[in-house]
Amino acid sequence: TQLLEQSPQFLSIQEGENLTVYCNSSSVFSSLQWYRQEPGEGPVLLVTVVTGGEVKKLKRLTFQFGDARKDSSLHITAAQPGDTGLYLCAGDSGTYKYIFGTGTRLKVLA
């Protein structure tokens, strides 16, 4: 069974701090996605990474796909209260089904 473990599970930080969220698996993924979900809504895609070692930046968010395509990280610089939400990674093993990680709930305090 494929498993995507995210850490930390919960994170509460002050506005302006930096943070990193990790997504780890023992399985290889052909692609990996990061989503953000707000209460009462479905997840919304932030980024897709496909190539091992790939780094993508989205404003203050930096996403990295591990060289072996088994893990990924999301780094937020100078977090803002609007970054608050549930962050989910999702991996595609090549069998068309996306398996989601356990989630990281982020709260940024003003």
Partner 1 sequence: NAGVTQTPKFRILKIGQSMTLQCTQDMNHNYMYWYRQDPGMGLKLIYYSVGAGITDKGEVPNGYNVSRSTTEDFPLRLELAAPSQTSVYFCASNRRDTEAFFGQGTRLTVV
Contacts of 10 (CB under 8 A, 6+ apart): 104, 105, 107
Longest dimension (CA), the chain: 42
Q: Is 98 in the site for partner 1 (CB under 8 A)?
A: yes
Q: Is 101 in the site for partner 1 (CB under 8 A)?
A: yes
Is the CB of 33 or the CB of 72 nearer to partner 1? 33
Near partner 1 by CB under 8 A: residue from 20, 22, 28, 48? 48
Near partner 1 by CB under 8 A: residue from 19, 56, 92, 93? 92
Count of chain residues binding partner 1 (CB under 8 A) = 26
% helix / strand / coil in the chain, to the nearest 5?
5, 55, 45
Q: Is 22 in the site for partner 1 (CB under 8 A)?
A: no
Residue 96's alpha-carbon distances to 32, 81, 82, 92, in angstroms, are 12, 35, 32, 6
Q: The tokens 């996403």 sit on which residue? A: 63
Q: Is 20 in the site for partner 1 (CB under 8 A)?
A: no
Chain residues binding partner 1 by CB under 8 A are 1, 4, 6, 30-31, 33, 40-45, 48, 50, 88, 90, 92, 96-103, 105
